[in-house]
Each structure stands twice: as structure tokens, then as C-alpha cells.
């Protein structure tokens, strides 16, 4: 069993990096009640990957087809700008804008993937190809994740403030829209790079379930972040360790463990309340 896991150790390292950064950022996603913004950004990232595969299938050569992350990142950043700017002044409600982006991006991604002459396209759409992560891949993920996490460490108070009480933040002179844009940029950047390996289901899982676990278990914000990150890393290790020797799909196995941790956290919370 251990030998089988060690054989895919680079994939495990990649899963841990994705779990770390997405679990930390997921706390803001849940706190700000923008879960479907995270889902929509993941869908738009998928659309970028799908377009890259489609272009490769029709014979377009170049860096954008060899590196799907380029179009994935571009599509995600367009989504970031769409969600982070102008929502307060828009006549269309924010949840409607999110719904439109989610549905349209998802439908277009399916259409491009259906026409992509690439065998792995359908798997990447949902499950990703996490077992295919190489040493170079997880080092790239780490190189992206470390600056993102450093930004969140440096501006921890500002991000929390605009997440809890935007009106008070505006009164005190905070440029809430700019801070929101920066927050969304860090989330979008992490999603874009994680999507090409982890797939839609797993990225969305890491953005939501560990944060829910942390909020159920901890009382202070430091504890919430620590619990969320711990839950994400634990789910990655346990799910990965079960999937490889037992020949289970890695992404769904990790998601199942994340769900189990949420249930355990909920039970612990109920016991505390009694």
C-alpha cells in the first residue's frame, strides 16, 4: 500500500498544495457567501481548458494549446473582473449575474469538450488528472500558491474586514471594491492553476467543504483557518491513500473524505452545544 502511494508521491504533493491554498481561500468564499462565485470561476476556468483542447483538436498549434493553463487563466481573470467590478451599480442582481456566468460557461465548456479530439478532455472536465501531476507540475503549483498565501498573510485584517462588514469598511476609508478585486484575483489565480490537474469537482470541494468544517469546529478566525487547512490536507492525504491501492477515482475519494469530515465536525458541534 505504501509502495503504491510512494509511486505517485508527486501527485500527492500536488494534491496537498491545491488543498492548502484552496482551503485557506475557501474560508473567504464561505464567509462572503460567494460559494457560487467560486463555482462560476471554476466553470470559466474549465471553459478555458476546453477551448484549449478544442483548438488542439482542430490543428491549432502553439503555446495556448500546449499549455491549457493560459486560456484557463485568461477566462478566470475575465470572470474575476466580471464579478468584482460594478456589482453594486448593476441593475441585474449579483446572484443573477453569477447564475448567468455559471450556466453559460458550463454549457460552452461541455460543447467545446464534446468537439475536442483529445481523449483526456472528458475526465479533466470533472475529475481532473491529479495522478498525472509531475514534480515540475507541483513545483509550479507551489510557486503560484506561495505568493497568494503571502498576500493573504500580509492583508489578513483587510480581507477579513471587507468580508464581515463592507459598509463600516467604506466608512473608515477602505476601498472595498479594490480589496474585493484583489481577493477575487487570488482566488481566480489559484483556481486556474488547480483546475488543469484537479478538475471541477475537486477544486470546488476544496473551496467549500474544508471551510465549512473549520467554521463548525472553531470559534475564532485563526482557529477557523487552521481547522479548514487541516481538514483540506487530511482529506487529500486520506482520500489519496485510499484511492491508489484500492483503484478508486482519486478526486471523488477525496471529496467523499471531505464530506465525512464535515459530518464529523457537525456532530462535534452538536455535542458541544449540549
Q: Where are the domains of the chain?
A: 2-269
Report which of 205, 30, 50, 44 is spatially closest to residue 122, judged by C-alpha positions. Answer: 50
pLDDT digits over 14-51, tens only? 999 999 999 999 999 898 888 888 888 888 888 888 88
The rounded distance, in Å, linking the Cα atoms of 183 and 186 is 5
Residues with Cβ within 8 Å of residue 90, at least 6 apart in sequence: 97
Q: Tally the C-alpha atoms within 13 A of residue 80's C-alpha that lie toward its C-beta.
A: 22
Per the listing, cell 509502495 goes with: 3
Long-range contacts of 174-177 (CB under 8 A, 24+ apart): 177/84, 177/85, 177/88
What's the pLDDT tens digit per position in 122-177?
A: 555 555 678 888 888 899 999 999 999 999 999 998 888 888 877 787 887 878 88
Cα separation, 182 vs 19, whole angstroms: 21
Say if CB 210 and CB 235 are below 8 A apart. Answer: yes
* Residues 184 and 80 sit within 8 Å (Cβ to Cβ): yes
Given a contact cutoff of 8 angstroms between Cβ atoms, the answer to whether 227 and 213 are in contact is yes
Out of 33-47, 78-92, 104-118, pick the least confident: 78-92
Percent of the chain surpassing pLDDT 70: 88
- Quote the CA–CA distance of 140 and 136 in Å, as a whole number: 6
Residue 137 CA to residue 129 CA, distance in Å, equals 12
**Inter-residue contact 225 to 214 (CB < 8 Å):** yes
The three grid cell numbers given for residue 146, joined into one nine-digit string: 506561495
Residues in contact with 114: Cβ distance below 8 Å, sequence separation at least 6, in sequence order: none
H-helix segments, the chain: 2-7, 9-31, 35-57, 63-66, 69-84, 94-114, 121-126, 135-154, 156-164, 166-171, 176-217, 221-243, 250-273
pLDDT surpasses 90 at 62: no
Class of the CATH domain delimited by 2-269: mainly alpha
pLDDT at 171: 82
The pLDDT value given to residue 125: 55
Residues in the chain, total: 274
d(CA 194, CA 201): 11
Average pLDDT on 176-188 reads 88
Amino acid at each position: 500500500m505504501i509502495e503504491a502511494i510512494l509511486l505517485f508521491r508527486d501527485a500527492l504533493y500536488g494534491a496537498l498544495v491545491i488543498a492548502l491554498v484552496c482551503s485557506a481561500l475557501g474560508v473567504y468564499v464561505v464567509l462572503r457567501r460567494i460559494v457560487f462565485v467560486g463555482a462560476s470561476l471554476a466553470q470559466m476556468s474549465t471553459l478555458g481548458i476546453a477551448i484549449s483542447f478544442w483548438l488542439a483538436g482542430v490543428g491549432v498549434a502553439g503555446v495556448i494549446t500546449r499549455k491549457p493553463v493560459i486560456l484557463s487563466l485568461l477566462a478566470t481573470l475575465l470572470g474575476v473582473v466580471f464579478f468584482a467590478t460594478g456589482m453594486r451599480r448593476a441593475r441585474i442582481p449579483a446572484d443573477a449575474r453569477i447564475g448567468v456566468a455559471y450556466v453559460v460557461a458550463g454549457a460552452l465548456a461541455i460543447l467545446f469538450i464534446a468537439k475536442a479530439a483529445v481523449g483526456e478532455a472528458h475526465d479533466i472536465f470533472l475529475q481532473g488528472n491529479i495522478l498525472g501531476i509531475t514534480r515540475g507540475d507541483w513545483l509550479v503549483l507551489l510557486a503560484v500558491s506561495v505568493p497568494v498565501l503571502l498576500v493573504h498573510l500580509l492583508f489578513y485584517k483587510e480581507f477579513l474586514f471587507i468580508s464581515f462588514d463592507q459598509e463600516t469598511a467604506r466608512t473608515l476609508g477602505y476601498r472595498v471594491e479594490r480589496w474585493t478585486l484583489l481577493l477575487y484575483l487570488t482566488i481566480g489565480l489559484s483556481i486556474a492553476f488547480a483546475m488543469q490537474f484537479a478538475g471541477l469537482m475537486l477544486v470546488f470541494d476544496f473551496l467549500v467543504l474544508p471551510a465549512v468544517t473549520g467554521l463548525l469546529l472553531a470559534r475564532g478566525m485563526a482557529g477557523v483557518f487552521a481547522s479548514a487547512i487541516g481538514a483540506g490536507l487530511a482529506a487529500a492525504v486520506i482520500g489519496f491513500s485510499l484511492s491508489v491501492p484500492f483503484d478508486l477515482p482519486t478526486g471523488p475519494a477525496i471529496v467523499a473524505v471531505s464530506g465525512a469530515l464535515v459530518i464529523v465536525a457537525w456532530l462535534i458541534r452538536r455535542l458541544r452545544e449540549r
